[in-house]
């Protein structure tokens, strides 16, 4: 479609969309920005925003008021294309390699989710809904966390700080947001809302670390999914990263961890090396610290049964064996 | 986590969440409902809504006002789990087979998208944002359309009506919504907004049918992706369905279409059988009808350059060769 001729009437608006797209796909996580830029380079007819603008122009709305929805429409379209390409096993789109070919299906699925969430976040900001804004930004962060996790698989050089950043985004942020949204409903003061956010964040960190400990300690029956699953996928979690830095057999562990299509024997050996160190104890100590932080975060205005329940949640996250 | 003890204080609220979840995952498309029900059966700790309610309860908000966000939070969590299971190639979750195992990765990706969109749709309704409500419901329909497409692959018994329903959901609805949202910004009357929605819908139908015609006529270079791609994936489109119903070699065509891992020779033979019939001409005729409908839908109040551009879009969709 020769959109330059047909869409002359909305050329300025479409240029504004391109600029906005380039700006909103920018993420703190370079890989996420790279994927977005790649998708933008592949371009497209921008048929949907063009029709939107043409229909809008029969009135005289200001560009600034109608731009976010146009950008959201194109972001949603891009997200569906990314997922379509995964589904169709497509290798090229508009002459460029697809995201699934360049970064793999998993990153492509998450990038699509990220673009969806970004789109809704734009409209939410525009619609003046703080709840939706917070929720959508949280999902963007969840996607970023998951993308970081995939970026860092089979990378024995990652630090505990990398790990903590990743689980903060993928798990703790969402639980913090759940608490914050509840606190908002209760009409609490800003400081109390922040405190409950912090409580949720700390509970979330403890929750995820516990989950990751269970992957190297629990049986498959206990957790309802195969144990050692993360290790097989190359996802290195707190106890593993700790062992890599503290085990005398670190070099051997590194070798084993890099194994693709890991055998049960290799998995057992990895577990053995981890359990020779105090990696599990260390990780449980970190869990306790986060839960301590969670308890300390509870504002004094939260009393009675609610306070008790929130304290109990913190207790149980630490005790969880499945 | 023994949530019954810890979450006693919000037990009624959590029961309300379960009921709402069961209600919102219901779709016109049975397969979509089945997947949602399966995910619900797997249950979960409902940690996020429980924390949300506990934090909310320090005020005394009415359940009805805080329920939608709680349901949205759990829907989003469910969506991320579905996508996580695809990414991890997980086979079980909470002791039940995962969605990717039961229905395949592709359906699982789309189901996750559907749950995301449903979640935002709930919050959008709650936040009183009609724009976001329309946009999110449109994406739910896009996901449903894509899921129908996967459900119906390699099914030579599907009718043209099935095909039209599917492309209405997956393509035309989104273009109709783009026009409707633009018309809303312009402050047009309800009848004019409906008319522009109809215009977008008809353009969208024509656009998708043209796309599907190109899959059996264009070269890979022209369309920037491999021709015959739909056929290889078992996706039967208008010209193929037409040929199945009108070709003298229908039985042979049916055989060929059911081939998995289709060779180039088989693909060529399918194309030959299709082109022996008037399937392509017929499909282009249907495109013309939709474009006629699009032109006729334009309200008389849309004049001048805007009217011209919208008419030109209709012309170009019909002429598009790539």
What are the residues facing A263 on neighbouring strands? none
Cβ–Cβ of A182/B56 closer than 8 Å?
A: yes
Q: pLDDT tens for chain B, 322 residues: list them.
A: 444 578 899 999 999 999 999 999 999 999 999 999 999 988 788 999 999 999 999 888 899 999 999 999 999 999 999 998 888 888 888 888 999 999 999 999 999 999 999 999 998 887 778 888 999 999 999 999 999 999 999 999 999 999 999 999 999 999 999 999 999 999 999 999 999 999 999 999 999 999 999 999 876 555 555 678 899 889 999 999 999 999 999 999 999 998 888 888 899 899 999 999 999 999 999 999 999 999 999 999 999 999 999 999 999 887 776 5
Separation CA B21–CA B37 (nearest Å)? 9
Give the CA dihedral B65, B67, B71, B72, nearest 10 degrees. 20
pTM of the model: 0.90
Chain B residue closest in CA terms to A60: B186
Is B315 within 8 Å of B210 (Cβ atoms)? no
Each residue's pLDDT tens digit, B152-202: 999 999 999 999 999 999 999 999 999 999 999 999 999 999 999 999 999
- Least confident stretch, A84-88, A222-226, A268-272, A318-322: A222-226
A52: which chain B residues are within 8 Å (Cβ-Cβ)?
Answer: 178-179, 181-182
What are the residues facing B92 on neighbouring strands? B97
Q: Does A137 touch chain B (CB under 8 A)?
A: no
B119 CB contacts (<8 Å, ≥6 apart)? Answer: B71, B72, B73, B75, B76, B79
What are the residues facing A93 on neighbouring strands? A96
Residue B28 CB coordination number (10 Å)? 11
Q: Does A169 touch chain B (CB under 8 A)?
A: no
How confident is the model at residue A1, as a pLDDT? 46
What are the residues facing B96 on neighbouring strands? B93
Mean pLDDT score, A244-269: 91
Torsional class of A29: left (φ above 0), alpha (ψ -120 to 50), beta (otherwise): beta
Q: Which structure tokens are listed for A96? A: 């460029």
The complex scores an ipTM of 0.90
| Residue A126, helix vs strand vs coil | helix
B288 CB contacts (<8 Å, ≥6 apart)? Answer: B318
Q: Does A13 touch chain B (CB under 8 A)?
A: no
Which of these, A67, A56, A61, A193, lies nearest to A125 by C-alpha position?
A67
Place of tokens 């008790």: A308
What are the residues facing A97 on neighbouring strands? A92
How confident is the model at residue B176, as a pLDDT? 98
Cβ–Cβ of A132/B120 closer than 8 Å?
A: yes
Is A150 within 8 Å of A106 (Cβ atoms)? yes
A2: which chain B residues are within 8 Å (Cβ-Cβ)?
Answer: 316
Q: Which structure tokens are listed for B207? A: 């656009």
Which of these, B212, B34, B138, lies nearest to A79 by C-alpha position?
B138
Chain A residue closest in CA terms to B73: A178
Which of these, B136, B142, B278, lies nearest to B204 by C-alpha position?
B142
Each residue's pLDDT tens digit, A25-62: 999 999 999 999 999 988 788 999 999 999 999 888 89
How confident is the model at residue B43, as a pLDDT? 79
Separation CA B298–CA B132 (nearest Å)? 25
B229: which chain A residues are within 8 Å (Cβ-Cβ)?
Answer: 88, 90
Q: Domains of chain A by range and CATH? A: 1-151 (1.10.600.10), 153-322 (1.10.600.10)
A47 CB contacts (<8 Å, ≥6 apart)? Answer: A1, A3, B175, B207, B313
Question: How far from B303 is each of A35, B299, B306, B314, CA to CA, in Å?
Answer: 41, 9, 6, 16
Cβ–Cβ of A301/B61 closer than 8 Å?
A: no
Partner residue opposite A52 with nearest CB, options B116, B120, B178: B178
Q: Which structure tokens are listed for B3? A: 């949530």
Partner residue opposite B225 with nearest CB, options A90, A117, A309: A90
Cβ–Cβ of A51/B313 closer than 8 Å?
A: yes
Q: Does A136 touch chain B (CB under 8 A)?
A: yes
Phi/psi of residue B189, nearest 5 degrees: -70, 160
Is B239 within 8 Å of B274 (Cβ atoms)? yes
Percent of chain A exceeding pLDDT 90 equals: 75
| Residue B311, helix vs strand vs coil | helix
Percent of chain A exceeding pLDDT 70 equals: 95
B252 CB contacts (<8 Å, ≥6 apart)? Answer: B273
Q: Does A180 touch chain B (CB under 8 A)?
A: yes
B261: which chain A residues are within 8 Å (Cβ-Cβ)?
Answer: none
């Amino acid at each position: 479609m020769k959109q330059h001729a047909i869409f002359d009437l909305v050329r300025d608006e479409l240029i504004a969309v391109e600029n906005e797209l380039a700006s909103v796909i920018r993420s703190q996580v370079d890989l996420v920005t790279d994927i977005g830029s790649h998708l933008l380079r592949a371009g497209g007819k921008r048929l949907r925003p063009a029709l939107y603008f043409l229909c809008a122009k029969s009135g005289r709305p200001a560009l600034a008021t109608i731009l976010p929805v146009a950008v959201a429409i194109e972001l949603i379209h891009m997200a569906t294309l990314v997922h379509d390409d995964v589904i169709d096993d497509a290798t090229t789109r508009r002459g460029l390699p697809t995201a699934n070919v360049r970064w793999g299906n998993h990153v492509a699925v998450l990038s699509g989710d990220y673009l969806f969430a970004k789109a809704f976040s734009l409209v939410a900001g525009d619609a003046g809904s703080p709840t939706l804004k917070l929720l959508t930004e949280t999902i963007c962060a969840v996607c970023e966390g998951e993308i970081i996790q995939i970026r860092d698989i089979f990378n024995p050089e990652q630090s505990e700080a990398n790990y903590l950043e990743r689980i903060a985004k993928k798990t703790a942020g969402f639980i913090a947001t759940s608490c914050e949204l509840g606190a908002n409903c209760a009409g609490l003061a800003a400081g109390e809302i922040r405190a409950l956010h912090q409580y949720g964040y700390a509970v979330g960190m403890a929750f995820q670390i516990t989950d990751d400990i269970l992957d190297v300690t629990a049986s498959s029956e206990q957790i309802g999914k195969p144990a050692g699953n993360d290790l097989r996928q190359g996802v290195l979690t707190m106890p593993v990263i700790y062992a890599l830095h503290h085990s005398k057999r670190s070099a051997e562990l590194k070798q084993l961890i890099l194994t693709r299509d890991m055998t049960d024997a290799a998995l057992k050996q990895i577990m053995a090396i981890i359990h020779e160190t105090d990696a599990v104890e260390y990780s449980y100590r970190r869990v306790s610290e986060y839960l301590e932080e969670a308890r300390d975060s509870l504002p004094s205005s939260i009393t009675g049964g609610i306070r008790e329940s929130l304290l109990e949640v913190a207790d149980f996250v630490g005790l969880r064996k499945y």
